[in-house]
Amino acid sequence: MGKKIKEPKTTLEWASEYAKRGWAVFPCHRVNLDGTCTCHKGAECDRPGKHTIYSLEPESFKDASIDHLKLKEWFSKDDVYNIGLRTGNNPQGSLIVIDIDEGDGKSGGKTLELLETKYGRLPFTLVQRTGSGGRHLVYWGKPGIHIKSTKNILRAEAGLPDRDAEGRKTQSHIDVRADGGYIVSVRRTHLEAPGDGC
């Protein structure tokens, strides 16, 4: 694990830190202590803490911004919203996130190990630990890199069988979030300087 970056404190400071890098942000709902979503659906919400605020602009991650005035409008009240980060090709650059799902029976870490053994280590980068035990590997390149957001990638490349013993499609538990996608920032923690892939 690499050196920790000095962590911002408030939601606005976090959002500003991202925007300074050129990463466009937008407000998302949060998860209450009991695991329910802060949206009106509460316990019925199937994507707790991972979607936009319906009653507020922006309605969609497409309206994500790096404009400080917008950030102030959205995030001045601390601890109200999560910060969404729009991935993919932006005017400032291309934010590509490899989402490694781990924990709760998910084996993204194992798949990554298989891939790195075969193809070599991934380039050094920022790593965000997600609440569920997974990792977001964050890559930032120049504008114009077009990669579609895709789930369950690199299955064959990792040498995984097509189907498991019960005939179900095998999962790599690795997704790529790029054009047409976003991630929710795990605030206050976990944005690490380049790791060793751990």
Interface positions with Zn ion (CB under 5 A): 29, 37, 39, 45
Q: Kindly tell me which of 28 and 115 has the beta carbon lying closer to Zn ion.
A: 28
In whole angstroms, the minimum distance from the beta carbon of 129 to Zn ion comes to 22
Residue whose CB is less far from Zn ion, 45 or 80: 45
Task: Provide, rounded to whole angstroms, the least separation between the CB of residue 40 and Zn ion.
Answer: 8
Q: Which residue intervals of 76-185 are DSSP H helices?
A: 108-119
CB of 54 to Zn ion, least distance (A): 9
**Cβ closest to Zn ion, residue 57 vs residue 113:** 57
Name the residue with tokens 């298989």. Answer: 114
Q: Which is nearer to Zn ion, 31 or 122 (CB)?
A: 31
Could you tell me which residues come within 8 angstroms of residue 167 by beta carbon, excluding any fewer than 6 positions away?
none
Task: Mention every residue, 6+ apart, whose C-beta is less than 8 A from residue 80.
Answer: 11, 30
Q: Which is nearer to Zn ion, 11 or 82 (CB)?
A: 82
Cα separation values, 194 from 12, 51, 138, Å: 24, 28, 10
User: What is the rounded CA–CA span in Å between residue 150 and residue 174?
Assistant: 9
| Minimum distance, C-beta of residue 87 to Zn ion, in the bound complex (Å) | 20
Mode of pairing for the β-strands spanning 82-86 and 106-107: unpaired
Contact 187, 168 (CB under 8 A): no
